[in-house]
Amino acid sequence: MIELFRVTKVFNMGRANAFTALKAVDLRIDLGRMTVFKGPSGSGKTTLLSIIGCMSRPTSGRIKLNGRETTSLPERFAAKIRRDTFGFIFQNYNLIRGISVLENTMIPTYPIGRKHQQVKERAYSLLRRLNIESKAKERVENLSGGNSSGWPFQGH
């Protein structure tokens, strides 16, 4: 369960170009449900998702994940939550260029220190499930848009 209490996010705070993306947002998202944010461009959907997913910190307010406060967790713990709990599919895919499809799939597990062979097998099984195993050795910049969007970022 995800809970937000009066979450506000101000970009460039204290400067002339300060911009309030979120203003005192209260939200509760229950487990096992699909929730959709919709709104016009610039209304703060991405900012809200970033804050929920520990990708950025709110300027004020509190966030709870399964009853546990995540608002001001040290960076190491926030990274662990990002790694273990959330999965993002970005509009522009956010693949790392210059390395292969297989390596891109394995990247999230590197900080965990799992055995390379084990991670590789798991990555292959994910690629197999999405029918893109044949592209495993290809560099991501050579992929078509369709292949890039069906990306299996590994979870913990």
Stretch that binds another protein, among 61-69, 71-79, 120-128, 144-152 (CB under 8 A): 71-79
Burial 109-141 (b: 16+ CB within 10 A, else e): beeeeeeeeebbebbeebbeeeebbebbeeebe
Q: What angle do CA 155, 48, 4 make, to 5 degrees?
A: 95
Of 5, 8, 56, 139, which lies in the binding site for another protein, with binding defined by CB under 8 A?
Answer: 56
Number of C-beta neighbours around residue 98 at 10 A? 9
| Region of 96 on the Ramachandran plot (φ > 0 left; ψ -120 to 50 alpha; else beta) | beta
Instruction: Return the H-helix or E-strand segment holding 117.
Output: helix 116-129
Taking the complex as a whole, how short is the minimal distance between the CB of residue 77 and another protein, in angstroms?
Answer: 9
Nearer to another protein, 17 or 33 (CB): 17
Of 6, 116, 128, 156, which lies in the binding site for another protein, with binding defined by CB under 8 A?
Answer: 156
Nearer to another protein, 110 or 131 (CB): 110
Q: Could you say whether residue 15 binds another protein (CB under 8 A)?
A: no
Residues near another protein (CB under 8 A) are: 47, 50, 55-57, 75-76, 78-80, 82-84, 88, 94-97, 107-108, 110-111, 153, 156
